[in-house]
Amino acid sequence: MADATEPTQTPATIPPEGGDAPKEPSKSELKKRAKEAEKAKKAAEKAAKQAELEAQKAAAEVDFATELYGKLPLNQSQSRPRRTHTQIATLTPEMDGTPVLIRARVQTSRMQGSKMVFFNLRQRTESVQALLIVAPGKVSKQMAKWAGGLSMESIVLVEGTVKKAPEIIKNATIGNVEIHISQIHLVSGIEGVLPFNVEDATRPDAEIEANEEVQFKRVLLDTRLNNRVIDLRTQTNQAVFKLQHAIGGLFREYLEGQGFTEIHSPKLQAAATESGASVFKVNYFKGNAFLAQSPQLAKQMAIAADFERVYEIGPVFRAEDSNTHRHMTEFIGLDLEMAIEEHYHEVMELLDGLFLHMFRSLRQKYSREIEAVRRQFPADEFKWRDGPEGTLKLSFREAVDLLVEDGVPREKLDDIDTENEKRLGRLVRAKYDTDYFIIDKFPMALRPFYTMPDPEDPTLSNSYDFFMRGEEILSGAQRVHDPTLLAEGMRAKGIDPASMSSYLDAFKMGCPPHGGGGIGLERVLMLFLKLNNIRRASLFPRDPKRLEP
Amino acid sequence: MADATEPTQTPATIPPEGGDAPKEPSKSELKKRAKEAEKAKKAAEKAAKQAELEAQKAAAEVDFATELYGKLPLNQSQSRPRRTHTQIATLTPEMDGTPVLIRARVQTSRMQGSKMVFFNLRQRTESVQALLIVAPGKVSKQMAKWAGGLSMESIVLVEGTVKKAPEIIKNATIGNVEIHISQIHLVSGIEGVLPFNVEDATRPDAEIEANEEVQFKRVLLDTRLNNRVIDLRTQTNQAVFKLQHAIGGLFREYLEGQGFTEIHSPKLQAAATESGASVFKVNYFKGNAFLAQSPQLAKQMAIAADFERVYEIGPVFRAEDSNTHRHMTEFIGLDLEMAIEEHYHEVMELLDGLFLHMFRSLRQKYSREIEAVRRQFPADEFKWRDGPEGTLKLSFREAVDLLVEDGVPREKLDDIDTENEKRLGRLVRAKYDTDYFIIDKFPMALRPFYTMPDPEDPTLSNSYDFFMRGEEILSGAQRVHDPTLLAEGMRAKGIDPASMSSYLDAFKMGCPPHGGGGIGLERVLMLFLKLNNIRRASLFPRDPKRLEP
């Protein structure tokens, strides 16, 4: 580089000394030159305009380009201006005139003429309308064209101003405001083709059927599950999983208030216990392990270890080759176990209190989410008895009698199968006006070896199931805490007590009477909302035919 | 059976008609008879007394006997008198004279003479002294003898009265009261021999070493884990698992306050992803599945599905054949993932806030449990910087420099191994007086393919680890949300992008910039309390050699 003190070169623009003086041009020559000058001027103007347009276009596309090459500050954390982002859910007409910064999905974008773009912007369960209008010096036509062509499901960051909507916007959940956009940046684009539209995936079946002439696209469950990440973006599914979160939270909240301790028991087990047939085998170093079908054994051992009252929220695994609407190979168990002071009904009543707490809180605090799901999955409101008469409790015998009265042959009712469960649900709703009830005192023959027999009639047991809309959502019982009786029970069900020695040992070392139950989280969610298929209640469902995504 | 109206038979005791009248006895004969009568009377009295004693003994033992044969109301829920049970933790001297009903473990029972039995009764972390004193018409000597002989770890139900203790009872955690027992029932006895005493299992090593002449029994970790149900009953372990519960609860509490949604992702996966070597293979019907090493992929997919901020508490599985003090094959992951607005330090700072919330709350609300653990596992109090200077944050380079200054050759510090981590922990404590710190900006080469490179220096990454007492407890980073860059990253680490197509597809369909981290629950618990072995922080630990109990 040249030293700053070095003298500059003589400029080359000074005319050479001496030489010819210019000739006077002819008239025709002058005319020709004027025409050429005019032409050049026009060309220059055109080029300038073109350059300006290119520059505008380039500016609009720079975000997308830089993202691809990893240079975008937004994505790569190069700067941190600490600007506040606004949630769509918080927008109100009172904010009229307020500048906002919103990151959202483009649910739809639509050009109107060449000067206006309408967006439906979405965040989780909420959406709002936004407008980009061409304005000289602010928003170019090219910018509008680029923005109007943004793919559905792109993520954009918009700067703009809140405006009270002139009339309620029907397509948006926040319909009383709109956003007037001043700047729009692309945060994340779409590569390839969306398997389906989120709008199509959100449409209720009834609307598709009522508008046959439109030929709305119907998105089948399998297509949804194959592309679950897109499917989960529907406002319906955002609400479903807020409600799944709520149910788990309410389960915890209630039990914490009742002195329960949360435990985490191992899913890897040495033996295929409980009922050997439906357990997954795992290659465990040089040997095998098995996936726990439930935390049953561990939670009872925690009671023998003086934990008094325990709960667990965790995955349970069932290797049943069953593809029904209500079975999965992996689901979330809401399990609890507690020491009994006097009577196993202490447990049953606590469980009932738990469900009532859930139902009441869901209705009180999550009506907006329930409503969002109803829009796509219409259902009768879930009913329970909330008065002083309390929850309906039937004995197994009474339940059988109800079915017999309704015409089911008694000899087919040693057990109540899925079909008769549903029938019973309908009978109970008709007779008692409730979707939620308890059946107590199941026959001992139907229950696992660790169930405590009834002290008066050993063909019955101290066990219960809870039902929602005619489907079982909880199974529970008092357990056998006496090691001799427990070993007898094992032998009676063809299990070698030696194969479960560490479980049996826990009771030999003293254990209080206890009982509990296990709830299927997804079943409660499915039945409360009437989603009709358990897969809709699971983030990434697993069944014998599905391990992905 | 005879009809009730049938006449009864003539009694056989009426003397037969006729026959010889009795002879007058001689004097010697009378003396002899008197002597015999006296003897018979004494024998009868003795027999009566014996019978009474037997009856008392039998009455005392009836609970135990009936339990064995399944007839005990207490255990079989035949009656429900609804009597209130009292928790030992709630006893105070102000309750002097109050009748109570307490169910508890017999930690120790000791006869003093033939008329008094001292019990140490235990419930979870608390214990109280109880006394049974022989009193005519109330408590027989036999009853006392039976009670004094109750096995340690039996569960008893005692009725009695609270008495202010004449002086503080050192062996009980509630030392200012004692219970005067009027009745005692056996709820659950012991079958066989306890593998070790709970008292022995609770004794600190230092006490064993300081009292060599006593030869206290030392209970080794393996013995404890083989008999985990007994081991878990120590007051230390009851406190440890109350604290485990607390840490999980505080994690949740903090994140709920920050707008996070709890998710449950499947543990069964189609492919052995992330790093194929350390994944367990599962027989899945006619094919295979693999156990998730972490919810990494699922939680990122939840972000691509617009969940914005998610957390999960669940088991993670590592098929590493490693038997160190800090590795298990199954542990509880406290995972979170969140969309980033501007900079990945948003995530790092939120995680820091989370840990500070945990540490502060543990100290404020769980001092009694921490103290209970300290009695057996003495440790320096866990230190963190809670002032305005904030948590210590070092870059990876600065951490390396600290080690180099301390004499570690720089060429050995491409990575910081476990030993150097511990050394760094000591150096940091000496220099900065904290057991908790963050290392930011790890070399890209040390991180998984989904880690976002630093925008200025691609050899570094937007990633961090958190440390407690010189051991890593959290690993986290900004993730790559661009599908092209992500596929490149996979290829660079030898992973075929086609094998992870459903993960990759999530980003092709648009995903906001995001980051997160995963915390090992048991590690936080172990290091906060300085338990020195992670197995002590797990209810039923799993390692390559342990699948039971």
Lowest mean pLDDT among A68-82, A370-384, B353-367: A68-82
Nearest chain B residue to A332, by CA: B264
Average pLDDT over residues B357-365: 97
Is B326 catalytic? The answer is yes
Contacts of A252 in chain B (CB under 8 A): 252
Query: B461: which DSSP letter?
Result: B
pLDDT band at B28 (very low <50, low <70, confident <90, very high): confident
Nearest chain A residue to B461, by CA: A76
Q: Can you give the pLDDT at residue A274? A: 61
- Between chains, do A232 and B305 touch, taking CB under 8 Å as contact? yes
Contacts of A268 in chain B (CB under 8 A): 280, 317, 329-330, 542, 547
Contacts of A511 in chain B (CB under 8 A): 155, 188
Nearest Cα residue to B417 out of B472, B369, B461, B379:
B472
Q: Can you give the pLDDT at residue B25? A: 67
Tokens of B328: 């298990």
Q: What number of C-beta contacts closer than 8 Å exist between A and B? A: 323
- Between chains, do A266 and B483 touch, taking CB under 8 Å as contact? no
Q: How many CB atoms lie within 10 A of CB A113?
A: 8
What DSSP assignment string belongs to B171-210?
Answer: TSSSTTEEEEEEEEEEEE---S--SS-HHHHHS-HHHHHH
- Between chains, do A342 and B83 touch, taking CB under 8 Å as contact? yes
Residue B291, beta-bridge partner list: B268
Residue A287 has pLDDT above 50, yes or no: yes
Half-sphere exposure of B468 (CA within 13 A, CB side): 27
B70 within 8 A of A485, measured Cβ to Cβ: yes
pLDDT band at A427 (very low <50, low <70, confident <90, very high): very high
SS3 (DSSP) at A207: helix
pLDDT band at B273 (very low <50, low <70, confident <90, very high): low
Nearest chain A residue to B308, by CA: A124
Average pLDDT over residues B535-540: 98
The pLDDT tens digits of the residues spanning B176-192 come to 999 999 999 999 999 99
pLDDT band at B29 (very low <50, low <70, confident <90, very high): confident
A69-74+83-188 and A235-537: identical CATH topology: no
Suggest the residue from A306, A320, A366, A523 to mutate for an interface test with chain B (most B CBs closer than 10 A).
A306
Residue B477 has pLDDT above 90, yes or no: yes
- Between chains, do B511 and A482 touch, taking CB under 8 Å as contact? no
Candidate from B79, B249, B343 with C-beta closest to A80: B343
pLDDT band at A456 (very low <50, low <70, confident <90, very high): confident
Whether this prediction's pTM lies above 0.90 is answered by no
Tokens of A268: 């890897």
Q: Domain residues of chain A, as ranges? A: 69-74+83-188, 198-231, 235-537
Nearest Cα residue to A93 out of A5, A164, A161:
A164
Mean pLDDT score of chain A: 89
Residue B136 has pLDDT above 50, yes or no: yes
Q: A69-74+83-188 in CATH: which number?
A: 2.40.50.140
Write out the catalytic residue numbers of A.
318, 320, 326-327, 472, 475, 523
Nearest Cα residue to A317 out of A297, A292, A335:
A292
Helices (H), A219-312: 221-226, 228-231, 235-257, 296-304
The residues near A122 (Cβ < 8 Å, ≥ 6 apart) are A88, A104, A105, A106, A107, A198, A233, A235, B306
- Between chains, do B510 and A190 touch, taking CB under 8 Å as contact? yes
Tokens of A519: 């709830």
Question: Phi, psi (5° rounding) for residue A424?
Answer: -60, -40
Residue B542 has pLDDT above 70, yes or no: yes
The pLDDT tens digits of the residues spanning B208-267 come to 999 989 889 999 999 999 999 999 999 999 999 999 999 999 999 999 999 999 999 999
Q: Can you give the pLDDT at residue B32? A: 81
Helices (H), B69-120: 73-76
The pLDDT tens digits of the residues spanning A9-20 come to 333 333 344 444
Nearest chain B residue to A511, by CA: B188
Candidate from A68, A321, A510 with C-beta closest to B189: A510
Q: Which fold has domain B235-537?
A: BirA Bifunctional Protein; domain 2 (3.30.930)
Q: Can you give the pLDDT at residue B221? A: 96
List C-alpha distances in Å: B464 to B176, B376, B443, B467: 50, 34, 10, 10
Contacts of A67 in chain B (CB under 8 A): 482
Rounded to whole angstroms, the Cα distance separating A154 from A477 reads: 51
Contacts of B313 in chain A (CB under 8 A): 313
What is the percentage of chain A residues whose pLDDT exceeds 90? 77
Rounded to whole angstroms, the Cα distance separating B63 from B184 reads: 10
Tokens of B10: 């003539």
Mean pLDDT score of chain B: 89
Question: Which tops the pLDDT comparison, A464 or B66?
Answer: A464
Rounded to whole angstroms, the Cα distance separating A443 from A428 reads: 21
The residues near B237 (Cβ < 8 Å, ≥ 6 apart) are B231, B536
Q: Can you give the pLDDT at residue A66? A: 38
Contacts of A291 in chain B (CB under 8 A): 282
Candidate from A261, A506, A549 with C-beta closest to B502: A549
Q: Can you give the pLDDT at residue A42? A: 82
B410 within 8 A of B404, measured Cβ to Cβ: yes
Question: Phi, psi (5° rounding) for residue A520?
Answer: -90, 110
Residue A273 has pLDDT above 80, yes or no: no
The DSSP bridge pattern shows strands A116-123 and A126-133 to be antiparallel
Sequence letter at residue B490 = M
What stretch of H or E contains B493?
A: none
Nearest Cα residue to A500 out of A543, A449, A457, A428:
A449
Q: Can you give the pLDDT at residue A28? A: 79
- Between chains, do A153 and B510 touch, taking CB under 8 Å as contact? yes
What stretch of H or E contains B253?
A: helix B235-257
The pLDDT tens digits of the residues spanning A217-264 come to 999 999 999 999 999 999 999 999 999 999 999 999 999 999 999 999
Residue entry with tokens 């101003």: A161
Residue A8 has pLDDT above 50, yes or no: no
For the sheet with B281-284, list strands across it: A268-269, A287-291, A281-284, B281-284, B287-291, B268-269
Residue A105 has pLDDT above 50, yes or no: yes
Rounded to whole angstroms, the Cα distance separating B477 from A140 reads: 39
The pLDDT tens digits of the residues spanning A188-197 come to 999 999 999 9
CA B352 to chain centre: 27
Q: How many CB atoms lie within 10 A of CB B412?
A: 13
What is the percentage of chain B residues whose pLDDT exceeds 70? 89
Q: Can you give the pLDDT at residue A76? A: 58
B504 within 8 A of B304, measured Cβ to Cβ: no
